Amino acid sequence: MSVVEQARRARGAAEALAVATRTVKDAALHAMADALVARTPEILAANAADLAAGREAGLSAAVLDRLALDEGRVAGIADALRQMAALPDPVGEVVRGATLPNGLELRQVRVPFGVVGIIYEGRPNVTVDAAGICLKSGNAALLRGSSSAAHSNAALVAVLRDAVAGAGLPADAVQLLDASTRDSVKELMRARGLVDVLIPRGGASLIRTVVEESTVPVIETGVGNCHVYVDAAADLAKAVAVTVNSKTQRLSTCNTAESLLVHAAVADAFLPAVLAAFADAGVTVHGDARAAAYSDAVVPATEEDFDTEYLSADISVAVVDSLDAAVAHIRRHGTGHTEAIVTDSQPAAREFVARVDAAAVMVNASTRFTDGGEFGFGAEIGISTQKLHARGPMGLPELTSTKYVVTGDGHLR
């Protein structure tokens, strides 16, 4: 079936989803969770086929681990659906409302987008997560996963569609697109009018392609060249802890710190301590000349280093002469994801927060906190680094639009 035909079916399903009550949608989410558990054997069989193909294709151990399912992981994925069912329904929320001077009653109400396309990496749990988040927010999902997870995704989506239909909603609320060809991505990007929003998740090149070529509105996610700035007035023990946590708590996430900026006034006191901590943690430091003066282990940083989202045990380090210089550096190299300051100075924190243009600004906290789960949203479809519509972690409300409902009694202008 062509992507356009799948998108048309999704539109039909979206009409039913838009008027489905929370009770019905939550019942569907529970049915999806129960079905995943009940049909775990067929899911694991399909996953085994992907793993075998992946091993043959020479995928790395890390990639294979992200791809792998077992009974416990399937149960965890099912539990995530049950947790979504417990979240409030964003649809129908009155965002704004008033009675106008002429007596017209004005309400701005959250409504689903309609059809949401998601392009994502080889993690089968995202298939279920995305399907669940879309369904809860009243949207039909067009899922374009990775070819490396094709068997797993097909099995998961078959289970989910049966459960959705069994709960009285259209099976076409959840559809998997052909992952064997790039054509499905192209068709999806051109399905303006049928697909309401496209969310690319994954590497910088995929995101760039979609942003450049899509006529369907896009919510850009992901690339995070996040900085920690250690201010002249920083508590240095906290600064070491926040810096190391931001870099090492998990290496491969978009909210991981990739660059450290140190105020010259505390460089002597701070850099030896943090360089020692990085050495202990196995992190390679790519430093400018001033940072390199503090340790022979520092690798000279190029300008390119300061633009690099390493996603590995590497960090770039520069010494700056002022908060102003730190802000300028972040403006030049940041990607608008998460920027952190460590300082005990209230004026410094205030200025950094006001002047740094990013989805999230941390004061005396790890960059790793930019996360829908950490923020208490309960579910997350990605972290937006654009300014339009949604910025930062996107939960259920970010998967909705609004509609003005205006009620009168024969009102005329």
Q: Which residues bind its own copies (CB under 8 A)?
A: 15, 18-19, 98, 100-101, 104, 106, 108, 111, 113-114, 192, 196-197, 211-212, 215, 217, 219, 235, 237-238, 241-242, 245, 249, 342, 349, 353-355, 357-366, 368-370, 374-376, 386-389, 391-393, 401-413
Q: Which strand (E) or helix (H) includes residue 97? A: strand 94-99
Return d(Cα 397, Cα 376) in angstroms, integer. 13
Question: Whose Cβ is closer to its own copies: residue 45's or residue 100's?
Answer: 100
State the CB neighbour count (10 A cutoff) for residue 342.
30
Question: Whose Cβ is closer to its own copies: residue 163's or residue 266's?
Answer: 266
Task: Identify whether the C-beta of residue 181 lies closer than 8 Å to the C-beta of residue 68.
Answer: no
Among 204, 211, 235, 146, which Cα is nearest to 337's? 204
Question: Whose Cβ is closer to its own copies: residue 105's or residue 178's?
Answer: 105
Distance, CA of 383 to chain centre: 3
DSSP 399: G
Instruction: State the minimum distance, in angstroms, from the CB of residue 131 to its own copies.
Output: 20
Instruction: State the minimum distance, in angstroms, from the CB of residue 174 to its own copies.
Output: 20
State the CB neighbour count (10 A cutoff) for residue 98.
10
* Residue 263 backbone phi and psi in degrees, to 5: -65, 135
Question: Whose Cβ is closer to its own copies: residue 307's or residue 375's?
Answer: 375
Return d(Cα 287, Cα 294) in angstroms, integer. 10
Q: Which strand (E) or helix (H) includes residue 126? A: helix 124-136
Q: Which residue has the tokens 């690099």?
A: 308
The residue type at 43:
I
Q: Count CA atoms within 13 Å of residue 60 on its CB side.
A: 4
38 CB-near residues (< 8 Å, 6+ apart): none
Instruction: State the minimum distance, in angstroms, from the CB of residue 150 to its own copies.
Output: 30
Question: Whose Cβ is closer to its own copies: residue 209's or residue 284's?
Answer: 209
Q: Kindly report the CA angle at 306 between 268 and 198, in degrees rounded to 5? A: 135
In the structure encoding, which two tokens stand for residue 245, read together? 């946590």
In the structure encoding, which two tokens stand for residue 143, read together? 């899922």
Local structure of 302: helix, strand or coil: coil
Instruction: State the minimum distance, in angstroms, from the CB of residue 199 to its own copies.
Output: 11
Return d(Cα 190, Cα 172) in angstroms, integer. 20
Question: Whose Cβ is closer to its own copies: residue 196's or residue 305's?
Answer: 196
Instruction: State the minimum distance, in angstroms, from the CB of residue 392 to its own copies.
Output: 5
Question: Whose Cβ is closer to its own copies: residue 177's or residue 399's?
Answer: 399
Instruction: State the minimum distance, in angstroms, from the CB of residue 232 to its own copies.
Output: 17
Instruction: State the minimum distance, in angstroms, from the CB of residue 290 to its own copies.
Output: 25
Question: Whose Cβ is closer to its own copies: residue 282's or residue 410's?
Answer: 410
In angstroms, the first-to-last Cα distance of the chain is 49
Question: Whose Cβ is closer to its own copies: residue 47's or residue 221's?
Answer: 221
Question: Whose Cβ is closer to its own copies: residue 13's or residue 150's?
Answer: 13
Among 80, 50, 231, 276, which Cα is nearest to 145's? 50
Instruction: State the minimum distance, in angstroms, from the CB of residue 358 to its own copies.
Output: 7
Instruction: State the minimum distance, in angstroms, from the CB of residue 104 to its own copies.
Output: 6
Instruction: State the minimum distance, in angstroms, from the CB of residue 133 to its own copies.
Output: 17
